[in-house]
Structure 1
Amino acid sequence: MREKIEVGEVLHVARSGRMIIKSSISDVAVLSRGTILVDAKGRSVAKLIELIGPVQSPYISAMPLTDRVKKYVGATLYVERTGKKVRRQENDDGKSKSKSKRVERKSGRREMMGEKREEEKDEEEGEGRGKEEE
């Protein structure tokens, strides 16, 4: 089951191309960076980039996901929420699995890159010595 929560009205499009939305939502905790905003029919319109202004009534800066941006000026946008809550599995140290895997991959790449660089240096030094001896 999908529930639509009203976010606010599109005021205008800034020079940068972002949509500026006057928030009508009382609980801004629902909003976070990367949240997809939809129209009344459920079509994706924009992706939330940042909240601007006072906490009680913030403005939203959102990157449009459509070419017809001017069509949505004055329109009300929503956030779709599913009825199910998604839980992330955590490791023993309290970090989510996906995050720890990403860190492991990065460190593995760094080590591999470091090893390659050392091997390349050894090969270059070996080639250089061979030329000097000849």
Structure 2
Amino acid sequence: MLKSYKDKSKNKPYIIVEISDKIMVNIMKKVRQILNIDSLHKNNIMGENVTVAVLDTGIYNHPDFGERIIKYKDFVNGKTAIYDDEGHGTHVTGILAGDGKMSNGFFKGIAPKSDIVSLKVLDKRGIGKEDNVISGIW
């Protein structure tokens, strides 16, 4: 367990972090079971003819997305080139639509054959304006 607390004995303002040896579990495997993803994939339900839209920090042109990024729009900085200056948008898109190419299929997303629309509405700190999010939805 990760605990942080102020050092009260000396009244110092810094934070001390204590890390215990408790076991951590990769929850993504459990989520795949709960959503029955492997069964869907075995029945060739892979997101073909489906488009997923991710409103986040952008997207890195990762090999797991191939040529499936069909639209990208930057509502934060107005850039036209695809980028993700924080990484979270790419991570979320990988969970949704990564085809697992770079991991020999081990890290395959929920809909690995879906097309991708990436709308950058959050900045490099993961912060965004409400009007950018609304514009991304419309």
- Does TM-score exceed 0.5, indicating one fold? no
Higher helix share: 1
Q: TM-score range by the shorter chain?
A: under 0.3
Give the structure with higher Rg (CA). 1
TM-score, normalization by structure 2: 0.22
TM-score, normalization by structure 1: 0.23
Higher strand share: 1
